[in-house]
Structure 1
């Protein structure tokens, strides 16, 4: 009979959460294996044995972030009855999640991206793909608004509107990391939603933001 590997002597979920917080705070390149070992409370050998590599650990951390901090904005985007309300609720949910006391400020998908060495190119592309998926989710919600009759826009306009609000969402993250308060982010959101009247001028008056 083949020998079994040594059982884990740590809580993998807790360790992964600690790794997520470190990547979130310092970014991929700013989190060394020594830093990760200290934050997770386990030896680097155990990290490799349990997660495979630093990149594999990071990908799991991003998935955890999406399933936790990333969930409220997705729910808001999906559940509001009109496209305008969905975008507004999504931005407010983003602002809530990126300013949670005791958690790193800002969005991990925006702020953890590596910017340097060639060998980190797969990680950069991985995060870019995740961000592109966010854009597509927003665009699909706008398409649903056209289908539901609460938004009148061409295909090109939908793409532009989706890109605009994706940019606002990512910009909120940078502002939060730089110290903007939740109230200050709310002001940005209010201005961004005021732009809806220009971006979607054919929407019935009752659907326009107040």
Structure 2
């Protein structure tokens, strides 16, 4: 009996290749909306369009995929913070730009507003404590970066010598976290900018001159 030629019969399709970039991007979107514990393997496989076997063949665990998604976030959407701190010529302007850009970036209408580092893992079960600890370390690093920028401003004479940069850094880290929560609750960019405007007042009290930006008033409409 003559065998059917592949050219005449049903074409043999190649197995679908796993698209790692798509998987990480899709996982990032889910983690932003649902958080770590709220995102199940079933959610991930359905959204990515692969089986659990295929997913585990590339990522040994959900935790590994989450860590890669966090790294993606920090190098893309979340990279604005470090850039804002380094771009401005004065410490006051750096904090101004950090808060102003956060207000715009955190306000999202798809339910994923705010900062993933601030909201991704806040409370979790004991079995996920290692993940929560790494997220805490990332938040601590962000706070340290703010303090370092304020310290540079203090050393340059932009801020008075009695300026408590540690407390101010903690205050601005808390402000960003609060803006994240407000954004997740539906606050608009304009509402977040008003919060940012108010938050600049304490830093303004320690300035040694009126150099730089006065605040966010020009970009906020009533």
* TM-score normalised by length of structure 2: 0.84
Tell me if structure 1 keeps the 8 A contact 2:103–2:190: no
- Following superposition, the deviation at residue 209 of structure 1 comes to 2.9
For the 8 Å contact 1:197–1:208, the answer to whether it is kept is no
The corresponding residue for 2:4 is none
Q: What secondary structure, in the 3-state scheme, does the structure 1 residue paired with 2:77 have? A: coil
The one-character-per-residue Cα deviations of 1:102-157 (angstroms, maximum 9, x if unpaired) are 572111112110523111000110100000010011011111112222122447x1
| Superposition deviation, residue 195 in structure 1 | 2.3
Unaligned segments of structure 2, at least 5 residues: 1-14, 216-222
For the 8 Å contact 1:194–1:209, the answer to whether it is kept is no
Cα RMSD after superposing both structures:
1.9
Distance change (3 Å), C-alpha of 1:103 and 1:148: farther
Alignment partner, residue 165 of structure 1: 172
Aligned length: 201
Partner of 2:153: 145
Query: 2:125 and 2:111 mapped to 1: Cα distance?
Result: 28
After superposition, residues 109-188 of structure 1 pair within 5 angstroms as 109-113=117-121, 115-154=123-162, 157-188=164-195
**Mean alpha-carbon deviation: is it higher for 110-119 or for 169-178?**
110-119
The unaligned stretches of length 5 or more in structure 1 are 1-6
Measure how far apart 1:207 and its partner are: 5.0
Show CA shifts across 1:29-72 (max 9, x none): 00011011111111112221212211111111111111111112
Q: Whose helix proportion is higher, 1 or 2?
A: 1
Residue 195 (str. 1) matches residue 195 (str. 2): no
Contact 1:99–1:176 (8 Å) recurs in 2? yes
- For residues 112 and 147 of structure 2, what CA distance do their matches in structure 1 show? 28
User: With structure 1 as the length reference, what TM-score do the two structures score?
Assistant: 0.89
What's the offset of the Cα at 1:8?
Answer: 7.4
Match of 2:74 among 46, 66, 77: 66
Contact 1:84 1:209 in 2 (8 A): no
Which is greater in Rg?
2
Structure 1 CA distance, aligned partners of 2:161 and 2:187? 33
Deviation per residue, 1:6-45 (Å, 9 max, x gap): x971221111000011011000000011011111111112
